[in-house]
Amino acid sequence: MMRRYVIIGSGAAGVAAAETIRTLDASGLIWIVTADPDGYYSRPGLAYYLTGEAAREQLYPLPNHYWKELGLRWHVDEVERVDPEGHRLVMKGGKDLPYDRLLLATGAKALLPDTPGINLEGVLKLDTLEDADRLLKLARRGQHAVVVGGGITALELAEGLAARGMHVHYFLRGDRFWSGVLDETESRMVERRLQHDGIFLHYNTNLVEVLGRGGRVSGVRAKTGDDACEMACSVVAVAIGIRPRKELAEQAGLLVGRGIRVNQCLQTSHPDIFAAGDAAEVLDPRSGEYVLDSLWNPAIEMGSAAGRGMAGRMTPYQKLVPVNVTRLGGLVTTIIGQVAAKRDALLVDLDLPGIMRGDSEVFRQHPDAVVAQSLHDGSRLRLYLSGGRLVGALIMGEQALSRPVQRLVRSGEDLGELVPQLVAPGARLDEKLWEFVKN
Amino acid sequence: MLRNLFHDASRKNMILVSGYVSPEPGRCVQCGICTYNCPIGIDVRLHAMRGEPVRDSRCLTCGECVTLCPRGVLSFEKASPASLKQGTGR
Ligand SMILES: Cc1cc2nc3c(=O)[nH]c(=O)nc-3n(C[C@H](O)[C@H](O)[C@H](O)COP(=O)(O)OP(=O)(O)OC[C@H]3O[C@@H](n4cnc5c(N)ncnc54)[C@H](O)[C@@H]3O)c2cc1C
Ligand code: SF4
Ligand code: SF4
């Protein structure tokens, strides 16, 4: 009999699973059920859609006929409930769908603070294409916008709104940007560039209330230290982190932690149900802890591994050292592995109580390591060395070393004589690394 | 600012660069900026997604895609003129 595969979620993990299943099972029935009417698009690309660097239609990497060629069936609806014993799921629209193998690729959702007024029209987040469309509709040249939160998404919101001609006020609860991952020098480098682009930074500032008129945002009440203030604005953009969408798994009685708990083959505690992508919590072989990521490529890799398992070819997922390449205030920045500048990095970042998009909990691990850093030509290189190996790196600005360093961290290669050279006071890390990789 | 400088430089480099565009697929987030900006309409993103170098004989090696990719996915690999002529196109 034909096997029935159902995938919940049309993101990177869900689509990668469908593609993989099709390569292994030419005749099986594959359903993608998704709550997102826009289907599959580049979510990291949303930031470039906001700045105008990418057109909306460009965010769809695959043409419509591709899905037909893959023989996929799409259904747009929200899944309300999964019944593991009955092997079926129930959708909000009332439809009932049976499955033999199920994938939960439900991603994560943006958190909103419980600040009074947070439900007013004009409070925005950046989670989906629909959110980005809404933001572009509300962004008005010459008007004021307030951004709260931390990390990459808050910057993307601030830069997108500024690119659309808004006067952007970025409220930071602490005294610097993204203190969980960047060190102080790096935070200041980014902040200076934001200010140069006309973004106003307000340090030690808490959003107290979003003020409204006729159901729409008209301003904010905030507190800087003990001083209260009010500011008029038409938009409040929020990025305080994300949470894995684990509700379906929880309600179905599957094992969950902070995300949906999976084994090495991405199987949940029920053998016919798999989970992958931002929703899943996987074992990090290096730290021995279950960790969350919100990264595009790991989501694809997890989706593929889960797809293989669903089609009967159980394959362990090899969790690589996480990498993200992003732009911070226009500075291209590569983050690899363990880079937290301080212990308890999550606690020190008041703007981000958990992880956010383009983030990994591994980035927040503070390695028991020696740090080496250098800064020149407006670029920054920070390396963490442990047991003769490179365990984390942050490269800001000039990116020529980014690929070789990524390879060194991922391979765990013994650096031998290079280590004392790197930690010598005043060492030019880039030169030493180039000599090493060229030999 | 820097981006604009690079941008101009890349235009001057038209046909001066000999080589082909090579992706590192693990860094690509499928945003489409490369495809959007390729002057002759090569779907560079598709190459990046599949991990295939752009061996399209129409490629001008103008560097637009390499320069504008925000994730450092694309770079020029050196190639002899003979190997470039064997480009398959898509
Ligand atoms: C603005 C932004 C910037 C980002 N920047 C980066 C970056 O710089 N680098 C990077 O690597 N990653 C980045 N990411 C993260 C990356 O996009 C995610 O890691 C990736 O999309 C995760 O894929 P996924 O398939 O697990 O989940 P998602 O892409 O979130 O897809 C989840 C799917 O599940 C569906 N769904 C959920 N619940 C239900 C339900 N009950 N019923 C039906 N359907 C449901 C949703 O509609 C959606 O289609 C960014 C994301 C965003 C939004
Ligand atoms: S511009 Fe870069 S990240 Fe975007 S699709 Fe092209 S190769 Fe991928
Ligand atoms: S180098 Fe120029 S012509 Fe060649 S693929 Fe890139 S953008 Fe297109």
Indicate the average pLDDT of chain A.
94
- Prediction ipTM score: 0.89
Residues of chain B contacting A, Cβ within 8 Å: 2-3, 24, 26-33, 35-36, 45-46, 49, 68, 70-72
Percent of chain A at pLDDT > 90 equals: 84
Full domain range(s) for residue B14:
2-84
Q: How far is the CA of A392 from the centre of ligand 1 (A)?
A: 25
Average pLDDT over residues B17-43: 91
Please compute, for residue B20, the number of CA atoms within 13 A of its CA located in the half-sphere on the CB side.
24
Find the range with the poorest average confidence among A199-213, A287-301, A346-360, B47-61: A346-360
B71:A325 CB<8 A: yes
pLDDT at B78: 80
The token duo for A259 is 């995300």
Tokens of residue B61, six digits:
């090696």
Q: Are A118 and A143 in contact (CB under 8 A)?
A: no
* Predicted pLDDT of residue A287: 86
SS3 A282: strand
DSSP labels for A229-280? EEEE-SEEEEE--EEE--HHHHHTT--BSSSEE--TT-B-SSTTEEE-GGGE
C-alpha distances in angstroms, A231 versus A135, A145, A194, A225?
20, 10, 20, 16
The enclosing domain of B60 has a CATH number of: 3.30.70
* Residues B82, A206: Cα–Cα separation, whole Å: 62
Q: What is the mean pLDDT of residues A285-314?
A: 95
Instruction: Find out whether the beta carbon of A32 lies less than 6 Å from any atom of ligand 1.
Output: no
Q: Please say if the pLDDT value at position A161 is more than 80.
A: yes
Is B59 among the domain residues?
Answer: yes
Residue A347: per-residue pLDDT: 57
Nearest-CA distance from B29 to chain A in Å? 6
Residue B1 has pLDDT above 70, yes or no: no
Q: Given this model, what pLDDT does residue A108 score?
A: 97
Question: Does residue A223 carry a pLDDT above 70?
Answer: yes
Domains of chain A in start order, with CATH, are: 4-109+243-310 (3.50.50.60), 123-239 (3.50.50.60), 323-438 (3.30.390.30)
CA atoms within 13 A on the CB side of B83: 10
Q: Which residues pair with A236 in a beta bridge?
A: A123, A146
In chain B, what residues touch A44 (CB-CB under 8 Å)?
Answer: 29-31
- Tell me, yes or no, whether B46 lies in a domain: yes
Q: Which residue has the tokens 């993989």?
A: A20
pLDDT band of residue A369 (cuts 50, 70, 90) is confident
> Which residue in B27, B30, B46 is closest to A325 by CB distance?
B27
Assess contact for A218 and A232: CB atoms under 8 A. yes
How many CA atoms within 13 Å lie on the side-chain side of A422?
26
Cβ A42–B26 below 8 Å, yes or no?
no
Whose atoms come closest to the Cα of B46: which ligand? 2
A277 lines ligand 1 (CB under 6 A): yes
Closest ligand (CA of A58): 2
pLDDT at residue B7 greater than cutoff 70: no
CB contact under 8 Å between A297 and B30, yes or no, is no
Does the residue B89 lie in any domain? no
pTM of the model: 0.93
The letter for the amino acid at A308 is R
| A102 Cβ inside 6 Å of ligand 1 | no
pLDDT(A188) > 60: yes
Whether B70 sits inside 8 A of A58 (CB atoms) is no
The length of chain B, given as a count of residues: 90
pLDDT of B85 strictly over 80: no
The whole-angstrom separation of Cα B82 and Cα B51 is: 22
Q: What is the pLDDT of residue A337?
A: 94
Q: Is the pLDDT at B3 greater than 50, yes or no?
A: no
Residues in chain A: 439
A-to-B residue pairs, Cβ atoms closer than 8 angstroms:
60
Task: Give the Cα separation of B32 and B46 in Å (integer).
Answer: 9
Nearest to A47 by CA among A364, A358, A395, A379: A358
CA distance B52 to chain A (A): 16
pLDDT (tens digit, 9 = 90+) per residue, A257-270? 999 999 999 999 99
**Rounded CA separation A53/A42 (Å):** 14
Which range, of A153-157, A210-214, A246-250, A396-400, averages the lowest pLDDT? Answer: A396-400
**Is A353 or A90 the better-scoring residue by pLDDT?**
A90
Rounded to an integer, the average pLDDT of A123-151 is 96
Asked whether residue B90 is domain-assigned, the answer is no
Query: Do B45 and A61 make contact, defined as CB atoms within 8 angstroms?
Result: yes
Closest CA to B51 of A293, A316, A297: A297
Could you list the beta-strand ranges (E) of A99-248.
101-104, 108-110, 123-124, 144-149, 167-171, 200-202, 205-213, 216-224, 227-232, 235-239, 242-244
How many domains, chain B?
Answer: 1
Query: Between A72 and A368, where is the model more confident?
Result: A72
Indicate which atom in ligand 1 lies nearest the CA of residue A109: 30
Q: Residue A56 — very low, low, confident or very high, per pLDDT cuts 50/70/90?
A: very high
| CA of A47 vs chain B CAs: smallest distance (Å) | 9
Higher pLDDT, A423 or A145: A145
Confidence band, pLDDT 50/70/90 cuts, at residue A368: confident
> Does residue A408 register a pLDDT over 70?
yes
**What is the predicted pLDDT for the residue at A6?**
98
What's the average model confidence in pLDDT over A32-38? 98
Cβ(A6)–Cβ(A102) below 8 Å: yes
Give A342 to chain B, closest Cα distance, Å: 26
A206 — pLDDT class (breaks 50, 70, 90): very high
**Residue A14 beta carbon below 6 angstroms from any ligand 1 atom:** yes
What distance in Å separates the CA atoms of residue A412 and residue A374, rounded to the nearest whole number?
22
Contact assessment for residue A330 and residue B3, using Cβ atoms and an 8 Å cutoff: yes
Q: B20 lies in a domain? A: yes
Q: Which residues line ligand 2 (CB under 6 A)?
A: B 23, 28-34, 44-45, 48, 69, 71, 73-74
pLDDT-based confidence at residue A325 (cuts at 50, 70, 90) = very high
